Chains A and B, each alone.
Chain A
């Protein structure tokens, strides 16, 4: 999906952004000269509304082309997936939603059944397999979207505010699932407004402001000693729950 322009190891999950610009309506909405995300642990993208976080995620995943510059995920052909803020589920059963992803992503026919069961178990949805996906609760729908995204065993998983519409319990369950996926070796890059979640899950923070990267620092450093004035101002308006 993303442009290949280098020679990293196959399967490598390093994300490299160079000279990236995205313009719309005559305005530069995003301008990132150089950004390299190469920590194996989750990276959280933070910033105020309109900073360009979701836009950056879509550009990295290759859903929209940049106006200038390049984005490379791993070696170019690295498997990647994305989960959206509002889960986009097909009008069919839970199992059929996952099976659809397995089919269109060319998972071998003989592996599909086994993989389906693994993913249902992982998402805690085994008992809901035959239920129409859109009748699940909000939390279950987002867990389904999450495990469905894992159908092609992505090396990189982009998450766009996946907990924003969930209640605390649903959010907690999804957080546990994200942690499990990250611990399994999938590189997680997540946009969130939940600073507590970012602090608990993230190892690295990328802070965006007005379409530019203002900080890329380890999580502890970001929350204890933010370097930029914008980040200090941003954090001062939020309560960070440990």
Chain B
């Protein structure tokens, strides 16, 4: 019990003292996950909206596939990206393995289906509400997508938060494609795993605390946005 309390105290000290190793890991984690979420949003939101408004052969199967991909196991994604980027793989020439770029690719593959699937559901619901009015204005098909995305902007922020949560908390894929190299590809989750196995609980606890604070902070911002939306636009 005493060791446990001591580890907590040391962890808190690491955070408060501005330990450079610790904050480098935090910053790299944020950089990798935020970039992955940004790329996923740029691809996933239009893709989800397209699936919501456009009718084409195989649409239902595509929706089932995108929904199913939300549950992709991170280690499997890590393995596939590893095979793609390894020296003998099809993209080996890019020499991205064990770099933050490889970790961004892996996290993007994990987050993209979440953003696309949830955006599809949100936009489809909005389309049900607005379709007659938009058609009356002559806004049909893909032309309706920007309007529907804008109308769902606060719902989309919750979806982005869900995607960020998936990315920042993920360990299986980034440890395979990043290699957990000190000062290069070591992020919060992989460092927690490593330091715990080494018995350095202070560092692991400090990072765990920051990870939880980031998760709470992101959700607090999204909740505040949602509350503001309800107050301002009465929806």
Interface of A with B (CB < 8 Å)? 1, 58, 61, 63, 81-82, 84, 88, 90-92, 100-101, 104-105, 132-135, 149
* Chain A residue nearest in CB terms to B129: A88
CB distance from B233 to the nearest CB of A (A): 4
CB distance from A116 to the nearest CB of B (A): 16
Q: Is B132 touching A91 in the complex (CB atoms < 8 A)?
A: no
Interface size on B, residues (CB 8 A): 17
Given A91-B229, A104-B139, A132-B233: 19 more A-B contacts, CB < 8 Å: A58-B132, A63-B132, A81-B136, A82-B136, A84-B132, A88-B130, A90-B130, A90-B147, A90-B151, A91-B151, A104-B138, A104-B143, A105-B137, A105-B138, A133-B233, A134-B233, A134-B234, A134-B235, A135-B234
Q: Is A88 touching B133 in the complex (CB atoms < 8 A)?
A: yes
Q: Return chain B residues, CB-CB under 8 Å to A133.
A: 233
CA A31 – CA B18 in complex, angstroms? 78
CA A90 – CA B146 in complex, angstroms? 13
CB distance from A106 to the nearest CB of B (A): 9
**Which interface residue of B130, B136, B139, B232 has the most chain A CB atoms within 10 A?**
B136
CA A183 – CA B143 in complex, angstroms? 34
Q: Is B151 touching A61 in the complex (CB atoms < 8 A)?
A: no
Q: Is A63 touching B233 in the complex (CB atoms < 8 A)?
A: no
CA A186 – CA B129 in complex, angstroms? 27
Chain B contact residues: over half helix, strand or loop, or mixed? helix
Interface of B with A (CB < 8 Å)? 129-130, 132-133, 135-139, 143, 147, 151, 229, 232-235
Q: Return chain A residues, CB-CB under 8 Å to B136.
A: 61, 63, 81-82, 149
Q: Return chain A residues, CB-CB under 8 Å to B133.
A: 84, 88
CA A208 – CA B143 in complex, angstroms? 36
Chain A contact residues: over half helix, strand or loop, or mixed? mixed
Q: Return chain A residues, CB-CB under 8 Å to B139.
A: 104
Q: Return chain A residues, CB-CB under 8 Å to B151.
A: 90-91
**Which interface residue of A81, A90, A91, A104 has the most chain B CB atoms within 10 A?**
A91
* Chain A residue nearest in CB terms to B133: A88
CA A134 – CA B135 in complex, angstroms? 21
CA A111 – CA B130 in complex, angstroms? 26
CB distance from B208 to the nearest CB of A (A): 39
CA A149 – CA B235 in complex, angstroms? 22
Q: Return chain B residues, CB-CB under 8 Å to A1.
A: 138
Q: Is B137 touching A91 in the complex (CB atoms < 8 A)?
A: no
CA A58 – CA B229 in complex, angstroms? 32
CA A88 – CA B147 in complex, angstroms? 13
Q: Is B132 touching A88 in the complex (CB atoms < 8 A)?
A: yes
* Chain B residue nearest in CB terms to A134: B234
Q: Is A63 touching B135 in the complex (CB atoms < 8 A)?
A: yes
CB distance from B149 to the nearest CB of A (A): 12
The answer to whether residues A132 and B234 also contact, given A88-B129, A88-B130, A91-B151 and a CB cut-off of 8 A, is yes
CA A151 – CA B26 in complex, angstroms? 52
Q: Which 6 residue pairs spanning A and B have beta carbons closest together?
A: A88-B133, A134-B234, A132-B233, A135-B234, A91-B233, A82-B136
14 contacts between A and B (CB under 8 A): A58-B132, A61-B136, A63-B132, A63-B136, A82-B136, A84-B133, A88-B129, A88-B132, A90-B147, A91-B229, A91-B233, A104-B143, A133-B233, A149-B136
CA A133 – CA B235 in complex, angstroms? 10
The answer to whether residues A132 and B135 also contact, given A88-B129, A88-B130, A91-B151 and a CB cut-off of 8 A, is no
